[in-house]
Chain A
Amino acid sequence: MLLSVLFLAACDKDDKEPALPGEVKDVKFEDVRSYTDWKYFSFSKGEFVTVTDHQNDLTWDIAFHRGDVRLNGGASGKGKGEALNTQQTNWNAVTEAPASGYIKDQVGKITTAFTGDGITEEDQPFSQTVTTWLTVDTSNPPPKYTVHNWIYVVKAADGNYVKLWLYDNKDEKNTAGYVSFRYQYNAGGSTRFN
């Protein structure tokens, strides 16, 4: 027992905060097909939460609207949410949250209706960084979806680091408008991931 404590201490001798990385979890095939409503998720609770006023609510960390993603920060909320694209596509290659380079949500155009009439766009706040996870090519039907598999490091509303990988925009039957993602929420504030 003593030995193991010593061993851990030895390992962490450069770290002043010996906080451990959080658990790696997956959310699979969540239905976010609605063009009108966002779906809000809390990394700390590990579940979707009901939010009525996203600008002033601190219980949510990330939200989904089709392929669009919103973080609780910047123009989207009063939390500390912001994001960085590590440009890595290998989950295991990202082991440390970078110290800087995080970008906050801004207002931009998102699609709020898509019918035979065409596309309706609206100005809404979202994360321009994380929304790059999916490209939709509508030059010829059917729409061609490209999931880029970037690994992002984002900050939750409370400022804790989260390693995030969005890997699928379809459900088990390949219906588009869903989201599957893997995340590691460092509740203790650690910058390390595994």
Chain B
Amino acid sequence: MRIILLAIFFITGIGLNAQHQRIEGRIIDCRSQEGIHLVSVGILGTTKGAISDESGKFVIEEVPEGDYTFAVSSIGYEEKRIPVSVPAKNENPIITISLCEQAIDLSQVVVTATRTERLLKNVPIQTQMISSKAIERMQITNFRDLLEYELPGVEFTNNGGYANINMLGFGGKYVLFLVDGERMAGETFDNIDYNRVDMDNVQQIEIVKGAASSLYGSNAVGGVINIITQKPRKTFETGANVRFGSNNEQNYRYTVGTRRKWGYANLTASFKSMDPYLLKDREPLTQWFANGDKVEYPLSETYIAGYKDYSVNPRVGIDVSEKLHLETKGGYYFKERNPGGLDGTKVTDRYYNYSGGLKADYKISDNQHLQISGNFDRYDKFKYYKLLSEKEKTYENSQQRFNGMYTHSFAAGHSLVAGAEYFSDNLMTFMFESDGSNAKRDAQTYAVYTQQEWLLAEKFTLVTGLRYDYHSQFKGHLTPRLSAMFKFTPRFTVRGGYSGGFRSPTLKELYTDWFHPDGGGFQIIGNKDMKAEKSNNFNLSAELSLGKTVITAMTQYSLIEDMVSTLWANQDTVLYANIGDANVWSTELSVTSQITNNLSLKVASSVVTDNLGKRSIIRPFSSTGRIDYIIPVFGKYNPTISFSGKYFGGIDIYGTGDITDTDNETGIEKEVSEEYKVHYDGYAICRLSFAQALPFNLTLNAGINNLFDYKPKFSSFYSSISPGRTYYIGLKWKL
């Protein structure tokens, strides 16, 4: 299997042996009889293969005579194996292969989690994938919602109006978000600007949970989420979307692209907006003290910020020669965030993002590639004072990354990736201001890494990885990784492994020196004397494929040494410090089933625990579910219904507060600091979406978010920010 896959992507060169044949063929859709583009055709037992062009045609040169099996596969189609006899004489056989569309089978999707392309089912490191099809079905226009609805262990809390991710017990600084393998600059509470991700431009999202991959950095103990964007597939393609929804939600998008012999080019432009909305408490937030006292806070109102953003993203790929492919891309993004209410009439936040990248892919030989890339991403934040017509810069983050990577695939199924990376992070924030200068701070990381896959036996693949990071402040650190995949039977796969982690404190954790004005104020101070966090991470997963049903169980355990957090150094100073060891354990179970060609189901649940005890802020239990149904009524114009939901278990959040205690003997009242808890209920939010294909390449979309109109009793950090039931309707056109 491995050999075919390697062969698929590399077409062999030219030979002059008369015994060899040129094989031509065409791949067609079994229903429409139209050619299918980008189908992989590989000859088993050889390194030969080809990819079909737009008309479905493919050519494999220089095939020696003999009997072969062709392996034919393409995303969205059933994999096929066809016996082909290549005669000795020069007959130039032309073969036609018809493929039938497959409903959804993620196992056939090619993923790049290990930097070499693999079918999802064969990736030795447990990888999850969200396909563009799933995104299309769910009609989610917001990256944050997508993660929350598709991944059970993902929760976003509302930190002072900003979304804050928790993924299987890990916060934003442990989760690495990538777009086509490149990092995104700019964070708010360690979270990327989720609006930057254009959901309509996503080809697929690959999620490697835990610290399993050494290729992307050792910070990402919580996981790597890599967003792969779409490339043009046709000579000319264009599309436009509009969508309107509750709270004045508006989305407009246009894309145009071309794929030619010389390469490809595309441009997407989008505009999204939504008004702020107000959540009103229905019951008071109540602090329950151990002595039985309770403190009820008055009912309050919480504004959830609205936004207006637009982006333009051009991309050009050029096949300079058969061996050299160049790609360059750029991006501009602007967002205005309106915090809502009276505040929003005076001050808004403005965010500007500029990005650019250049990538060269050089094919040294069929099985050796060299990739060199440079990427730049800058994210600025301003406060815009409407009444004063003034703009104040509060934040500037720019990141540069240069990466050189060599991949070598060996015929025996082994592969080697080796690379070197330079990463520079420059940050200016108002939080560095105590010396009055809004000083810039920076850090550089130099890394070398290697990852090898060893196909030790037909059923057993071993992945070894080693990464050495040199941080300008924290010096060198080596992190090893070892993981294995064992395919007991073609239906049952077990993966597991160990990985080391190394996280240098962020620039904010090192250099913050900021007077926090809330509540009388206190100073937050970074700490240059901290140690870097080290972690040991273990993961184990099992995947059982029962034909159309796949059951996956995953568990991971992380032990973090010298965890960086904040401590009260004295009464008005908060200091970043290494607070000791922490551990996080998560388990996830998921069942995906293609019940019939028209009906599919996905259910997943996760349980997360950590050793933080009463300081823990994770909802331990969560579940997601989705049912997609294609209503078989109009043939080509069949409508699709998708129902999805997420359930979060309840949680008690602990804190300390001052209450008045009456001394039993003297009757004197005194203020004492006591522990209290606030209970947040479990809740479920469901959504229903409907798509109707129409003539002229149009699709009508409509849906209801928060179908059962769930609203939290009160709004706080750990409660839902949904406005309740909302509606949307949209139209897509695609040529």
Contacts and interface: CB of A to CB of B under 8 A. Distances in A.
Given A114-B519, A118-B658, A143-B518, A170 B346 contact: yes
A23 to B, nearest CB: 23
Contacts, number: 72
Contacts of A138: 519
A176 B385 CA distance: 15
Contacts of A170: 342-343, 346
B578 to A, nearest CB: 21
B342 A115 contact: no
Interface stretch (B568-576, B594-602, B608-616): B568-576
Interface string A84-124: 00000000000000000000000000000111111100000
B160 A141 contact: yes
Contacts of A116: 520-522, 568, 570-574
B300 A146 contact: yes
Given A135-B300, A172-B346, A115 B388 contact: no
B517 interface: yes
A114 B520 contact: yes
Contacts of B98: none
Interface in B572-596: 572-574
Contacts of A144: 300, 302
B717 interface: yes
B385 A173 contact: yes
Contacts of B678: 139
A173 B347 contact: yes
A135 B517 CA distance: 18
Given A140-B717, A172-B387, A173-B385, A115 B522 contact: yes
Nearest to A169: B342
Contact of A173 (B383, B518, B568): B383
A174 B346 contact: yes
A113 B347 contact: no
Contacts of B573: 116
Contacts of A35: 520
Contacts of B387: 172
Given A116-B571, A117-B572, A172-B388, A146 B301 contact: yes
A50 interface: no
B385 to A, nearest CB: 6
B297 A147 contact: no
Interface in B678-713: 678
Contacts of B388: 172-173
Contacts of B519: 114, 119, 138, 141, 143
A139 B301 contact: no
Contacts of B300: 135, 137, 144, 146
B720 interface: no
Contacts of B520: 35, 113-116, 119
Given A115-B572, A139-B716, A172-B385, A147 B342 contact: yes
B62 to A, nearest CB: 69
A113 B572 CA distance: 13
Given A115-B520, A138-B519, A174 B572 contact: no
A168 B570 CA distance: 33
Nearest to A177: B517
B571 A115 contact: yes
A139 B656 CA distance: 11
Nearest to B715: A144
Contact of B518 (A117, A142, A172): A142
Nearest to B387: A172
B36 interface: no
A167 B298 CA distance: 19
B285 interface: yes
Contacts of A172: 346-347, 385, 387-388
A160 B103 CA distance: 79
A166 to B, nearest CB: 12
B287 interface: yes
A174 B285 contact: no
B363 to A, nearest CB: 54
A175 interface: yes
B343 A174 contact: yes
Contacts of B521: 114-116
A142 B573 CA distance: 17
A173 to B, nearest CB: 6
Interface string B233-267: 00000000000000000000000000000000000
A-B pairs, 8 with minimum CB distance:
A114-B520, A116-B572, A116-B522, A117-B571, A115-B520, A172-B387, A137-B300, A116-B571
Interface of B: 160, 285, 287, 297-298, 300-302, 342-343, 346-347, 383, 385, 387-388, 517-522, 568, 570-574, 658, 678, 716-717
Given A119-B658, A135-B300, 8 more contacts: A114-B520, A115-B571, A115-B572, A116-B572, A118-B571, A119-B519, A139-B678, A175-B517
7 contacts: A35-B520, A114-B520, A116-B570, A118-B571, A135-B300, A172-B388, A173-B346
